[in-house]
Amino acid sequence: MEKTSIHGMWSSRFAFILAATGSAVGLGNIWRFPYMTSDNGGGAFVLVYLLCVAMVALPILFAEIAIGRRGRRSPIHSLMDITREDGVSRGWVGIGWISIIAGVLILSFYSVVAGWTLHYSWLYVKQLFGGAAITDPGLVFAELLSHPFELTFWHAVFMVLTMGVVALGVEQGLERAVKFLMPALFIMLLLLVAYGATTGHLGAAASFLFNPDWSKIDGGVFLRAMGQAFFSLSLGMCTMMTYGAYLPRDVSVPRVGATVALADTGIALLAGLAIFPIVIGFGMAPTGGGAGLIFTSLPLAFNSIPFGVVYGLIFFLLLAFAAWTSSISLLEPATAFLVERGVSRKTAALSMAAFCWGLGLLSVLGFNHWSHVKILGRDIMSFIELIANDLMLPLGGLLIALFAGWFISGERMREQLHGLPAPLFTLWRWLVRVVAPVLVAVVLVRAVI
């Protein structure tokens, strides 16, 4: 008998694609991808990134969705069922626990950064109605970081938005939210790219993004491109596994998986094509922008272009929407787990969100009252990012690849990956068995030492 999820199911293939793309497309694409590209040699980084997506991320994405659909429960419970059915060590359930911890850690700081985007959106709304212009974006950003109350407020607003959607459940909450937010996001992005095209600098931006300077490719670029691929595709912490648990039986996992990966990559590139023409047009160098590229450089550019306030508002709202559809996917796995333990969905979403919000206060305070606290030379937020993004996601991805490739029943995997022709199934199997684990292990070792 085919299992169904007690949490509800996506109403269609398209609903899943929107939700999974919503999870994948977030701060990672619009804030992180452009500045990582900027800092790591432009086209060279893009090329290696695309390679990592195809060779490592895509096969692991298939594995996560397939495992989720087979289990039909939250990651920990799905893995418990699958290990029992296939007679495999229960130790693999540990992947589910790592994923819950990683999700909580990531959501704690993700919501703080998403709060910045709300703050900036608000500044532009005020400016539209005659408020002061952001004349010195560097100062505005520094001031924001130095005010714990302001940071905490926006962090709380964002967390409430996230919790509200998750509390409503898969069909009434998640699906309805992504059906509204994703098209809005896409339209805003196209508007920005269209603007970029009119600046006359689209060509320069495209050549920066797509003309690889081969001399720039080294081990470090590989390391960062791989980490970016995991983060951007929401891999390694069972988010896609959770979304897969709500996927109808007849939908082809490889098809939706490939669509999500293409959409995520396409939107990252579009974000680059939206941002770099403005940066170049404003006379700033596209290289070496750093993490402040968006919060400090772009407002400067928006300040001096016609309708800059409107573009500024669209841009930061776009970022907030993208972060929202990602943060709901960060909260859902832990919430679903508690629901399966008998907690009501509202209480589960509320308590997990409250916990992550509380943890986020550490990141908030790390920018001001506790700015002297340095762990391994990093501020508190960067330290949490290091543990969660750079260590736990690749570790989770590595374990998922090994589990899917070597331990879980190949027959059952094949059933879940129906639609994949036999030679491609064999190729997928070798990618998760050997190629992905070896590459991820190299990245992990490099990150640790």
Q: Which is nearer to ligand PFF, 195 or 321 (CB)?
A: 321
- Which span (5-13, 22-30, 47-55, 146-154) binds ligand PFF, by CB under 6 A? 22-30
Enumerate residues 88-107 that contact ligand PFF by CB under 6 A: 106
Residue 108 touching ligand PFF (CB under 6 A):
no
Least separation in angstroms between residue 232's CB and ligand PFF is 4
> What are the φ and ψ backbone dihedral angles of 130, each rounded to 5 degrees?
95, 5
Least separation in angstroms between residue 442's CB and ligand PFF is 21
Residue 14's Cα: distance from chain center in Å? Answer: 19
- Which span (26-34, 139-147, 345-353, 360-368) binds ligand PFF, by CB under 6 A? 26-34
Q: According to CB under 6 A, which one of 38, 78, 108, 239 is a site residue for ligand PFF?
A: 239
Q: Which is nearer to ligand PFF, 163 or 365 (CB)?
A: 163
The residue written with tokens 């199911």 in the block is 9
Q: According to CB under 6 A, which one of 78, 232, 265, 325 is a site residue for ligand PFF?
A: 232
**Position with the least CB separation from ligand PFF:** 28
- Which span (19-27, 186-194, 340-348, 368-376) binds ligand PFF, by CB under 6 A? 19-27
Q: Which is nearer to ligand PFF, 119 or 429 (CB)?
A: 119
Q: According to CB under 6 A, which one of 9, 18, 27, 140 is a site residue for ligand PFF?
A: 27
Residue 28 touching ligand PFF (CB under 6 A):
yes
Q: Which is nearer to ligand PFF, 9 or 104 (CB)?
A: 104
Q: Which is nearer to ligand PFF, 127 or 329 (CB)?
A: 329
- Which span (160-168, 231-239, 277-285, 349-357) binds ligand PFF, by CB under 6 A? 231-239
Least separation in angstroms between residue 430's CB and ligand PFF is 26
- The pairs formed by 174-179 with CB atoms below 8 angstroms and a separation of 24 or more are 174/19, 174/328, 174/332, 175/10, 175/11, 175/15, 175/18, 175/19, 177/22, 177/324, 177/325, 177/328, 178/15, 178/18, 178/19, 178/22, 178/325, 179/15, 179/18
Residue 24 touching ligand PFF (CB under 6 A):
yes
Residue 29 touching ligand PFF (CB under 6 A):
yes
Residue 17 touching ligand PFF (CB under 6 A):
no
Residue 398 touching ligand PFF (CB under 6 A):
no
How many residues in the shown chain lie near ligand PFF by CB under 6 A? 15
Q: Which is nearer to ligand PFF, 24 or 348 (CB)?
A: 24
Q: According to CB under 6 A, which one of 37, 117, 121, 329 is a site residue for ligand PFF?
A: 329
Q: What is the 3 state secondary structure string of the chain?
A: CCCCCCCCCCCCHHHHHHHHHHHHCCHHHHHHHHHHHHHCCEHHHHHHHHHHHHHHHHHHHHHHHHHHHHHCCCHHHHHHHHHHHHCCCHHHHHHHHHHHHHHHHHHHHHHHHHHHHHHHHHHHHHHHCCCCCCCCHHHHHHHHHHCHHHHHHHHHHHHHHHHHHHHCCHHHHHHHHHHHHHHHHHHHHHHHHHHHHHCCCHHHHHHHHHCECHHHCCHHHHHHHHHHHHHHCCCCCCHHHHHHCCCCCCCCHHHHHHHHHHHHHHHHHHHHHHHHHHHHHCCCCCCCCCCCHHHHHHHHHHHCCCCHHHHHHHHHHHHHHHHHHHHHHHHHHHHHHHHHCCCCHHHHHHHHHHHHHHHHHHHHHHCCCCCCCCECCECHHHHHHHHHHHHHHHHHHHHHHHHHHHHCCHHHHHHHCCCCCHHHHHHHHHHHHHHHHHHHHHHHHHHHC
- Which span (73-81, 162-170, 322-330, 357-365) binds ligand PFF, by CB under 6 A? 322-330
Least separation in angstroms between residue 216's CB and ligand PFF is 23
Residue 165 touching ligand PFF (CB under 6 A):
no
Residue 381 touching ligand PFF (CB under 6 A):
no
Residue 26 touching ligand PFF (CB under 6 A):
yes
Enumerate residues 246-305 that contact ligand PFF by CB under 6 A: none
Q: Which is nearer to ligand PFF, 330 or 417 (CB)?
A: 330
Enumerate binding residues for ligand PFF (CB under 6 A).
23-24, 26-29, 106, 231-232, 234, 237, 239, 326, 329-330
